């Protein structure tokens, strides 16, 4: 970076004073979409980006719309007329005071601009400015000076170690989760018992002359059809479990997000929220209920196979018990690694979503500065970082399965050896065949039992991640039943502020320091000041978008801190500095009261 040119750019864009007011100067973290900068500051930062590029042609689309008149005049004189002297400048503006110095003026009369959608450079860049480079620089400053700086974007919360059954209990506590889960497991146990009974009937009577073939097949089919219906009801119980739990978790998550204060969205990148309401919620919807029941079912299957095998050749228990112990030791060793890898995968996924959203929103600015390759390389790097823990988790899973198959093969070989050494006539040929059949399936059932337990342990991390955003400290209550304003409030419109003090977060300095004033009803009051002085913050305090640190705002005799947010906001009209339009028609974007929505 050219330090001299950088300093000259700051001076020409009237940013020197703004940097002095920021806590860490040009290393201050601006957050996603520049949330802690005013509209004028965002616009002047984009002007500085363009000036530092030192291009030959500059296209300026209304660059002074968000700054005050004095700053606009300074920018025009120092930026357009001096810094861009000798450059080709195409300025789009509605401020006719700036027209005389230009060589030519193109006046568009009755012109129409037809486009599918447009976005100003300032708007585009405010989204793509991002946090990554700022975070890196700020981390470097912290490491160099050993000081704890105030970070706007906090590091994403991530659990460590084994937290036990807590997420499982939380999942099953949704509505009637324990009932549906217990029903599904009980039905699967009955299904396994029916299968053993079916096979035992065949093994015991296949050589029995007193049982004819028709009776043998009829009983066998009767037990089989009964087991099929039991399996159907087990599946229905699992589906209901998933629907009820997913609906409950989604409702709590959305309620928490919609009720969260604005400071939460200022300090939380959009990618973190998107990763939870997309991939994590999808796992909760589709994977967890079936995998949870299948894990218990696979454990029941493996146990039943081992019991049948031991019933015929009890000597195999001398081999089975050490092998089972070894398998659970392998499970514990694998699980501690896989769980952390899945958590890292979930955490890094938010960076990919956040970077993609910023790149799409700032596509115009990225193309204007010819930075496509850098953003593409950054995207690939984030994808690789996200895919790396998933790859290692997949590789560890395959190695774990291979070791389980070796253990299962050892158990089967020991059982077969014991059977071959049994005295003749100890068991009938039917029971020997049944034991061998269960021994052969022990390999698969035992492997599935351990693998499904590890899989559900990885999936349940999604519930853990959702829970992190289900208990966000919310705004104050919407309606205070004991203190509701009268129906025609505010009928006069008088506003009184007493020692208003505002800070954006509890650990930051005051933005507004002790403002006291009175706005008489029916008067038109103009709030003036340079960009970044707190004009928009003052409006936000009236609407209680920001909760003041010390204050009293009285509107027509009522302290607004004593009434609910719905009663306050439904009686006031507000036009924000950055208005938002939603998808649909112009008519659908009209302001609606909550009763009309």
> Cα(250)–Cα(269) distance, rounded to whole angstroms?
20
Q: Under 8 Å CB-to-CB from 169, ≥6 apart: which residues?
A: none
Q: DSSP letter at 550?
A: B
- Are 295 and 453 in contact by the 8 Å Cβ rule? The answer is yes
Would you state the structure tokens that stand for residue 576, as one six-digit string?
């924000």
CB 220, CB 430: distance < 8 Å? no
Neighbours of 95 (CB within 10 A): 14
| Residue carrying the six token digits 């997420």 | 167
**Contact between residue 43 and residue 34 where contact means Cβ atoms under 8 Å apart:** no
Q: Is the dihedral of CA 207, 211, 212, 217 positive or negative?
A: negative
| Under 8 Å between Cβ of 500 and 307 | no
Pairwise CA distance, residues 351 & 268, whole Å:
12
In order along its 597 residues, the chain shows pLDDT tens digits of: 678 888 888 888 888 887 877 777 777 777 666 666 777 777 788 788 778 877 777 777 778 777 777 778 888 888 888 888 877 787 777 777 777 787 777 665 544 433 333 333 333 233 333 333 344 334 334 433 433 445 556 666 666 656 678 888 889 988 888 999 999 999 999 998 888 888 778 777 777 777 788 888 888 889 889 889 999 999 999 999 999 999 999 999 998 888 888 778 777 777 788 888 888 888 899 889 999 998 898 888 888 877 877 776 666 667 677 777 887 787 777 777 877 888 788 778 878 887 888 888 788 878 877 888 888 999 999 999 888 888 888 888 888 888 877 877 777 777 677 767 666 656 556 666 666 677 677 777 777 887 788 788 888 888 888 888 888 888 877 787 878 888 878 777 788 888 888 777 666 677 778 788 888 877 777 777 766 677 777 777 777 877 777 667 888 878 888 888 888 877 777 777 666 666 666 556 555 444 444
Domains of the chain: 3-116 (3.40.50.300), 165-470 (1.20.1560.10), 495-580 (3.40.50.300)
Model confidence pTM above 0.85: no
The count of other CB atoms within 10 Å of the CB of residue 428 is: 14
Query: Is 167 in contact with 237 (CB distance < 8 Å)?
Result: no
Task: Give the C-alpha distances (Å, rounded to integers) separating 320 from 259, 331, 370, 439, 449.
Answer: 55, 16, 66, 12, 15
Listed in sequence order, the DSSP H helices in 259-286 are 262-267, 270-275, 281-282
Beta bridge partners of 558: 555
């Amino acid at each position: 970076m050219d330090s001299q040119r950088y300093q000259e750019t700051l001076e020409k864009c009237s940013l020197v004073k703004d940097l002095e007011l920021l806590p860490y100067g040009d290393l201050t973290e601006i957050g996603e979409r520049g949330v802690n900068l005013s509209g004028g500051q965002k616009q002047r930062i984009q002007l500085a980006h363009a000036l530092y590029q030192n291009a030959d042609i500059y296209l300026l689309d209304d660059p002074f719309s968000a700054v005050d008149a004095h700053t606009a005049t300074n920018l025009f004189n120092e930026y357009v007329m001096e810094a861009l002297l000798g450059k080709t400048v195409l300025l789009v503006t509605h401020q006719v005071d700036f027209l005389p110095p230009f060589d030519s003026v193109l006046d568009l009369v009755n012109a129409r601009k037809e486009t599918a959608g447009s976005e100003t450079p300032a708007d585009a860049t405010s989204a793509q400015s991002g946090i990554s480079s700022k975070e890196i620089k700020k981390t470097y400053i912290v490491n160099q000076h050993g000081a704890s700086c105030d970070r706007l974007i906090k590091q994403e919360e991530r659990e460590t170690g084994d937290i036990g059954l807590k997420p499982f209990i939380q999942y099953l506590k949704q509505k009637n989760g324990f009932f549906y889960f217990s029903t599904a497991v009980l039905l699967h146990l009955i299904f396994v018992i029916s299968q053993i009974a079916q096979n035992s009937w065949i093994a015991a009577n296949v050589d029995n002359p007193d049982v004819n073939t028709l009776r043998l097949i009829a009983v066998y089919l009767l037990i089989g059809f009964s087991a099929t219906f039991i399996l159907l009801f087990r599946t229905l119980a699992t589906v209901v479990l998933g629907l009820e739990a997913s609906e409950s978790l989604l409702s709590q998550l959305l309620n928490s997000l919609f009720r969260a204060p604005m400071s939460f969205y200022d300090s939380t990148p959009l990618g973190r929220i998107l990763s939870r309401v997309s991939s994590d919620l999808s796992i909760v919807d589709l994977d967890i209920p079936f995998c949870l029941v299948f894990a218990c079912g696979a454990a029941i299957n493996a146990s039943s196979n081992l019991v049948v095998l031991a019933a015929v050749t009890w000597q195999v228990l001398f081999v089975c018990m050490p092998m089972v112990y070894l398998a659970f030791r392998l499970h514990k060793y694998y699980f501690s690694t896989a769980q952390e890898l899945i958590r890292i995968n979930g955490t890094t996924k938010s960076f990919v979503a956040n970077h993609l959203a910023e790149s799409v929103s700032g596509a115009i600015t990225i193309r204007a500065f010819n930075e496509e390759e850098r953003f593409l390389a950054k995207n690939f790097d984030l994808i690789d970082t996200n895919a790396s823990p998933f790859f290692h988790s997949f590789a560890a899973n395959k190695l774990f399965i291979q070791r389980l198959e070796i253990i299962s093969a050892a158990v089967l070989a020991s059982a077969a050896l014991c059977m071959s050494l049994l005295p003749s006539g100890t068991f009938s040929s039917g029971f020997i065949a049944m034991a061998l059949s269960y021994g052969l399936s022990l390999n698969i059932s035992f492997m599935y039992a351990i693998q499904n337990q590890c899989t559900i342990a990885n999936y349940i991390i999604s519930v853990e991640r959702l829970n992190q955003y289900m208990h966000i400290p919310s705004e104050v209550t919407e309606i205070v039943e004991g203190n509701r304003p009268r129906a025609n409030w505010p009928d006069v419109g008088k506003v009184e502020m007493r020692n208003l003090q505002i800070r954006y977060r509890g650990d930051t300095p005051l933005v507004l320091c002790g403002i006291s004033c009175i706005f008489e009803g029916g008067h038109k009051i103009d709030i003036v000041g340079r960009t970044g002085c707190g004009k928009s913050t003052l409006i936000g305090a009236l609407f209680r978008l920001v909760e003041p640190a010390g204050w009293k705002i009285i509107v027509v005799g009522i302290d607004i801190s004593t009434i609910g947010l719905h009663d306050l906001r439904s009686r006031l009209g507000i036009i924000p500095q950055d208005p938002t339009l939603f998808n649909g028609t112009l008519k659908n974007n009209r302001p609606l009261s909550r009763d009309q929505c």
